[in-house]
Structure 1
């Protein structure tokens, strides 16, 4: 299928050579910029399976092993006129980002969605901020939940997100006109956050700093967002909250090269009522248009 939309975004790159770097050393902020043209596509079964599966594995982190990601990817690709992928080098390449929505009620008898519903209810029981989800996603409930799945590679700018949400709104509107089952009462967005934690590396060799001690105290760590847009979406939410993954995962010391603290990734859910979803999408567009 033809691409839907193109925009230009600037991404920072390292200086092209030591010579050019030295010539511009008068300013620490001098960098060479690479113009990148992002392209939005419909999900393509013949090209996107492996790329989408990789992004889903990244989204669910250590809990990814709880799901049949191949079946979930197939389900996403089975609705090619709903959702978007973002690519750089043409339609036949792997996606750098994606966004889609799945009708939990319509697919509740599929094994991967059954497990997803059990997973959501389990997390809702563990975090009181998410407690209303337990009843909403139950099979006999009258609610119609659209499960929003979205992820991108770490170096992809957040500005690719608002167009994907805008196109999703349009596609859902067209689908409803065609009497397809996308008339949702709520949208549930799965995402990720993280907390800074005291590093376990060399902890016996040096005393902890005040920052490390604070991070080591339960309940005192600040929540950080892998997806900055989540903070905007939460303004329109009926509930939201983070949760620890069910599968035991090691706390990351990846930041210890330059900082005192490691990170602890967590899952995150945002529930938005359908009549507020359009305002949430507009909020994203306004937020990122302001730079």
Structure 2
């Protein structure tokens, strides 16, 4: 398990070696019969604005998917990396490299007057209004309650086992911040994520045909921990992206015969239940003994 990193003013990092993660091949599999095993030492770091801006911005673009163009990602990345003692990056080999993963929390009330945050909040409110299951999120965001917005993303081939240590460290860091009278005492946490359906390709003999994804198509998770976090949620659900069009499924084709239709996802968890949700995630992603 990764150690809690120091809350030093200079953002000094502490590395950690997690045996549940280290011996994973590049796509997260541990099947010796199909893949060569690569021993990788992942390290957790505090944010460094001089190093992490571009890597975090790139991962934000991936997290927000096709709608990322609606936001000022540079301003959001700046907010994240300026929080040196809240949240983590995961890297390999050296602190100076770009992050392979990141996780953080933003105080939406504290940053409400910043345009990058207000634009994102307005977007989340509008999307929550499209799904009755997300109605509690509308009430919280419009009343400016102390909501912590969790943003987390990693490269697609990163093993999910890196995530529980990041969440555990976040809990420790928030507790320390609250003790220091910093504005990280929340009533709820809102996790922004994404899901997808497999859909039929719109390509046929070089001609494009319009086809809609079946409403009963099964939902899959880009982040497998979301399936566990939802069990502890006060509200959760998906929404369609604003910039979605019929070309997206084929441009994201990840299967021989099927395309991928992505959806935004929101998970709202009461602060009192957050630690239990993180523990359940850790139990779920731990390898069998």
Q: Place the TM-score, normalised by the shorter chain, in its bin.
A: 0.7 to 0.9
- How many residues were matched structurally? 269
Deviations 1:70-107 (A, max 9, x none): 00000011111000000002100000000000000000
Contact 1:96 1:156 in 2 (8 A): yes
Paired with 1:255 and 1:199, the residues of 2 have a C-alpha distance of: 10
| DSSP 3-state at the match of 2:41 | strand
Q: Does 1:41 align with 2:37?
A: no
The equivalent residue for 1:23 is none
Aligned to 2:7: none
Query: Quick check: 1:275 aligned with 2:272?
Result: yes
Q: TM-score, normalised by structure 2?
A: 0.87
Residue aligning to 1:11: 24
| CA displacement at 1:117 relative to structure 2 | 1.0
Q: Where do 4+ consecutive residues of structure 1 move more than 4 Å?
A: 254-258
Residue 13 of structure 2 is aligned with which of 2, 22, 40?
2
C-alpha distance after superposition, 1:209-255 (max 9, x if no partner): xxxxxx95541111110000000100100010011001234322267
Matched, 1:228 2:244: no
Q: Provide, for residues 39-63 of structure 1, a one-character-per-residue CA deviation record: whole Å limited to 9, x for no partner.
A: 0000111110100000000000111
CA contact (8 A) 1:239 1:272 kept: yes
How far residue 113 of structure 1 moved from its aligned partner, in angstroms, is: 0.7
Residues 147 and 189 of structure 2 are in contact (CA less than 8 Å); yes or no, is this contact kept in structure 1?
Answer: yes
Aligned pair partner of 1:219 in 215, 218, 224:
215
Q: Counterpart in 2 of 1:157?
A: 159
Q: 1:122 aligns with which of 107, 122, 126?
A: 126
Q: Does 1:242 align with 2:238?
A: yes
CA distance in 1, matches of 2:243, 2:212: 21
Q: CA RMSD in A?
A: 2.2
Query: SS in structure 1 opposite 2:75?
Result: helix
Superposition TM-score, scaled by structure 1 size? 0.87
Matches of 1:256 and 1:203 in 2, distance apart?
16
| Number of the residue aligned with 1:169 | 171
Give 1 or 2 for the bigger CA radius of gyration. Answer: 1
Distance in 1 of aligned mates of 2:183 and 2:26? 44
Contact kept, 8 Å, 1:255 with 1:261, in 2: the verdict is no
Equivalent residue of 1:176, what SS?
helix
1:115 aligned counterpart, secondary structure: helix
Q: Work out the CA distance in 2 between the residues paired with 1:6 and 1:268.
A: 31
Q: Hey, what's the Cα distance between the residues in 2 that align with 1:256 and 1:63?
A: 18
Change (3 A) 1:57 1:278: same
Q: Distance in 2 between matches of 1:146 and 1:4?
A: 26
**Distance in 2, Cα, partners of 1:58 & 1:13:** 19
Structure 1 position 287, deviation (Å): 0.9
1:75-90 equivalence runs, <5 A: 75-90=79-94
Gaps of 5+ in 1: 15-26, 209-214
